[in-house]
């Protein structure tokens, strides 16, 4: 009947539709694979595939069986990965996606203290936008993401962990007339040349929704992925940049420029998200808890400072 070896043989043949390529992938002789599958078909009394000289075609019954075998092997490999990860001798690795607009919220904490506690941990960083990271996460190319949190259908199948709140700001040259305002009306932005965050970002989604809701047509001259690039365009061309800013933060790269929130605040949750159905490496779980604890301490300190001022 079914065992791990036979399922692996079937998976390889199903993947390549060819016994020779399957045997090369598994480093097993072609007759061994063929004999094992023939024996399985005989025992199950099911014709799993039709063979010819060039390729293999799976029958309806074979497709149904393979749909279940694929899930079993995925679970088996994930379980192996979990066991390796939980081993005391395991090399701790984490593939982390992070927003290019939010690096200062997390990277200094990670390098100044977290990695000192975990000196053998290897974190692979991927800077990008929310929707880019969603695709990478769903394709298992990332373990964990710190970015604007997705909502609605985009959040299905994900575990969301809010950490903080970001607010959209306009980035303005000090000599620009809008710099005299405390808050910027959305209508005023439409008469300016805007340097907007890239089209895959949460900020772009929110701003597009607001413009559409108010029947406004912005003039976007550039979509950026580097804050320094946006800041240079604001300085040199007097364009108006659009940026998400965490509460109490001064974005690196915007020194000497004026940041102003919008007249009607546009805010969104920032935090971690991961696939709900996929195991998060132990070091990822520890990082999430570490950042949450750090955020609580930061908020408690800010509250205490506010109370003393009052």
Q: % helix / strand / coil in the chain, to the nearest 5?
A: 50, 25, 30
pLDDT at position 89, please? 55
Sign of CA dihedral 250, 305, 307, 103: positive
Angle 22-3-84 from CA coordinates, rounded to 5° = 85
**Which of 273, 289, 248, 308 is closest to 134 using CA atoms?**
273
CB 224 within 8 A of CB 171: no
The angle formed by the CA atoms of residues 302, 307 and 310, to the nearest 5 degrees, is 125
Helices (H) and strands (E) in the chain, counts: 11, 11
pLDDT bucket at 118, cuts 50 / 70 / 90:
confident
pLDDT band at 249 (very low <50, low <70, confident <90, very high): confident
Is the model's pLDDT at 127 over the cut of 50?
yes
Note the pLDDT of residue 54. 78
Question: CB-side exposure of 214: number of CA atoms within 13 Å?
Answer: 15
Tokens of 279: 């195991």
Q: Which domains does the chain carry?
A: 4-86 (1.10.10.10), 93-164+269-309 (3.40.190.10), 166-268 (3.40.190.10)
58-64: average pLDDT: 95
| pLDDT at residue 153, as a whole number | 94
Rounded to an integer, the average pLDDT of 102-124 is 88
> Confidence class of residue 306 from pLDDT cuts 50, 70 and 90?
very low
pTM of the predicted protein model: 0.75
At 176-220, the pLDDT tens digits run 999 999 999 999 999 999 999 999 999 999 999 999 999 999 999
**Residue 178 confidence (pLDDT):** 96
Distance, CA of 55 to CA of 22 (rounded, Å)? 11
Is residue 310 predicted with pLDDT exceeding 60? Answer: no
pLDDT in tens, 261-304: 999 999 999 999 999 988 898 899 999 999 999 888 776 554 44
Q: Give residue 304's pLDDT.
A: 47
Residue 83 confidence (pLDDT): 76
Contacts of 35 (CB under 8 A, 6+ apart): none
At residue 251, the pLDDT reads 86
**Bridge-based pairing state of the strands 93-99 and 144-148:** parallel
Closest C-alpha among 77, 2, 93, 99 to residue 43: 2
pLDDT band at 119 (very low <50, low <70, confident <90, very high): confident
- Alpha-carbon distance of 205 to 210, in angstroms, equals 9
């Amino acid at each position: 009947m079914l065992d791990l070896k036979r399922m692996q043989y079937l998976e390889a043949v199903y993947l390549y539709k060819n016994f020779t390529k399957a045997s090369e992938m598994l480093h097993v002789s072609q007759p061994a694979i063929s004999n094992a599958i023939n024996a399985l078909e005989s025992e199950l009394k099911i014709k799993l595939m039709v063979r010819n000289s060039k390729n293999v075609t799976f029958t309806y019954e074979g497709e149904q069986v393979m749909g279940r075998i694929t899930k079993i092997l995925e679970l088996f490999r994930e379980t192996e990965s979990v066991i390796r990860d939980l081993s005391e001798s395991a090399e701790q690795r984490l593939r982390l996606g992070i927003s290019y607009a939010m690096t200062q919220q997390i990277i200094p904490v990670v390098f100044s203290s977290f990695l000192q506690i975990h000196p053998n941990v290897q974190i692979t960083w991927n800077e990008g936008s929310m929707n880019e990271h969603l695709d990478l996460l769903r394709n298992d190319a990332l373990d964990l993401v710190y970015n604007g949190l997705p909502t609605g259908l985009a959040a299905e199948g994900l575990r969301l962990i809010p950490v903080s709140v970001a607010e959209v700001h306009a980035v303005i040259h000090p000599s620009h007339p809008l710099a005299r305002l405390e808050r910027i009306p959305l209508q005023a932005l439409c008469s300016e040349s805007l340097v907007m965050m890239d089209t895959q970002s949460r900020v772009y989604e929110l701003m597009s929704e607001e413009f559409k809701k108010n029947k406004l047509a912005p003039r976007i001259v550039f979509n950026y992925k580097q804050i320094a690039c946006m800041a240079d365009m604001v300085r040199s061309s007097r364009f108006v940049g659009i940026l998400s800013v965490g509460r109490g933060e001064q974005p690196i790269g915007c020194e000497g420029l004026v940041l102003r929130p919008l007249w009607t605040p546009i805010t969104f949750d920032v935090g971690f998200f991961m696939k709900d159905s996929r195991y998060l490496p132990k070091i990822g779980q520890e990082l999430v808890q570490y950042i949450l604890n750090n955020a609580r301490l930061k908020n408690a300190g800010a509250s205490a400072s506010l109370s003393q001022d009052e």
